[in-house]
Amino acid sequence: MSSIVKCKFSKCLNANSLIEEARNLGLIPLPKNQKGIEEILMDMNIKFSPFTEEKAELGKKLYFEPRLSKSGIISCNTCHNLGLGGADGVSAAIGHRWTVNPHYLNSPTVYNSILNASQFWDGRATTLVEQAKGPIEAEPEMATPAKLAVEKISSLPEYVNEFKKIYGKSGVTFDNIADAIANFERTLITPSRFDKFLEGDENALSKKEQEGLKLFIDKGCVACHSGVNLGGNMQPFQVANQYKFASLGDFKGDENGLVKTPTLRNIAETAPYFHNGAIWSLNEAIREMGSTQLGISISNKEAETIAVFLKSLTGEKPKVIYPQLPASTEKTPKPQL
């Protein structure tokens, strides 16, 4: 029996068959350009505005713009740090006046987030434009009402000119601020060796990584972690057993108890894990998912093998040069600490 198992998971693992199996289960490679992104969004019935490089460049400034926060020190990049896997590396997000997220929710990665079918842990938004508005206005996060955000950006002539050039007569509006940020976030795609494997390069993944992918499929992980983002959709949580850190925070999902399945892309860079950031070890997170969602016991060795595959999802990050932001004027509202 041991020789058969060994053959199955190493010597006899057929890369071409594994690629076909993965794709048949809904795992598809990342799109290579904005046209490809739009095709996926249309397939998911997600609305989007026309992409332009000018919008993305403006959105990049706004993504790093701390004056969009009431305190003047928090930007989108604070909780979704592009140098830290698009997250912040802490269990629960920290916002205005060092406020811990009241529901003790962990900041999800911004990389590849355009391809999520749902935004926020409870899926209350379906587009990045909707999502971008939330943290700006939320009191425990950036704490800036829409009217104040518009007032701040409108006080800076460089921004006013850019908005007029891109958005015409509508100029600086809260909708346009969010739209520009979303256009920048559309550029944060991170292709990995896994994508090359799905495209047919049988050598893109090592044999050990292929074993991990096969185990990932056979254990049933792909039931929730599927699609282009290996997640990003709404799923029931605690299907088989109670999550062992369920008492940390009061988050219970949406009105139907559904929770957004996190993307597994760049998962090795985005600890801690789960909605409340209670687990710091990738191997432990894999074992916990086996118990909580699948009702099975995943051994340490199996978790290590699956983790080897998951690390192949660490992708190449786009080069982002920190923008120079316009200087404040006498009309710019002062920070409120």
Residue 227 pLDDT greater than 70, yes or no: yes
- What number of other Cβ atoms are within 10 A of residue 72's Cβ? 19
Q: Which of 20, 38, 141, 185 is catalytic?
A: 141
What is the C-alpha separation between 291 and 55, in angstroms, rounded? 44
Q: How confident is the model at residue 65 (pLDDT cuts 50, 70, 90)?
A: very high
Q: How confident is the model at residue 10 (pLDDT cuts 50, 70, 90)?
A: low
- Binding site, by residue number, is 76, 79-80, 96, 221, 224-225, 289
Close Cβ partners of 137 (under 8 Å, ≥ 6 residues apart): 143, 144, 145, 146, 149
pTM value is 0.94
If 0-12 CB within 10 Å is exposed, 13-18 middle and 19+ buried, where does residue 291 land?
Answer: middle
In CATH terms, the fold of domain 2-30+192-311 is Cytochrome Bc1 Complex; Chain D, domain 2 (1.10.760)
Residue 5 pLDDT greater than 70, yes or no: no
- Tens of pLDDT, residue by residue over 268-302, are 999 999 999 999 999 999 999 999 999 999 999 99
Which pLDDT score, from 0 to 100, does residue 192 have? 98
Q: Would you kindly state where each structural domain of the chain is located, as residue ranges?
A: 2-30+192-311, 35-185
Cα atoms found within 13 Å of the Cα of residue 223, Cβ hemisphere only? 12
**Structural domain 35-185, CATH architecture:** Orthogonal Bundle (1.10)
Which pLDDT score, from 0 to 100, does residue 206 have? 97
Which pLDDT score, from 0 to 100, does residue 13 have? 85
By three-state DSSP, how is residue 2 classified?
Answer: helix
Residue 247 pLDDT greater than 90, yes or no: yes
Whether 185 is a known active-site residue: answer: no
Instruction: Enter the tokens of residue 233.
Output: 């959709």
DSSP string, 23-64: HHTT--PPPSSHHHHHHHHHHTT---PPP-HHHHHHHHHHHT
Domains 2-30+192-311 and 35-185 share a fold: yes
Q: 269 near 84, Cβ under 8 Å?
A: yes
Closest CA to 232 of 303, 126, 133, 318: 126
122 residue type, one letter? D
- Binding site for heme c, by residue number, is 76, 79-80, 96, 221, 224-225, 289
What does the DSSP 8-state code read for residue 168? G
Mean pLDDT of 153-159: 98
84 residue type, one letter? L
Residue 42 pLDDT greater than 50, yes or no: yes
Question: CA distances (Å), 116 to each of 19, 51, 113, 144, in order?
Answer: 22, 17, 5, 26
Which pLDDT score, from 0 to 100, does residue 124 have? 97
What is the C-alpha separation between 112 and 267, in angstroms, rounded? 12
Strand 234-236, strand 258-260: pairing: antiparallel
Which pLDDT score, from 0 to 100, does residue 155 have? 98
Angle at 298 between CA 293 and CA 304, to 5 degrees: 120
Query: What is the chain's mean pLDDT, rounded?
Result: 96
Mean pLDDT of 137-142: 97
Residue 2 pLDDT greater than 80, yes or no: no
Close Cβ partners of 81 (under 8 Å, ≥ 6 residues apart): 87, 88, 89
Residue 305 pLDDT greater than 80, yes or no: yes
Which pLDDT score, from 0 to 100, does residue 1 have? 39
Residue 46 pLDDT greater than 80, yes or no: yes
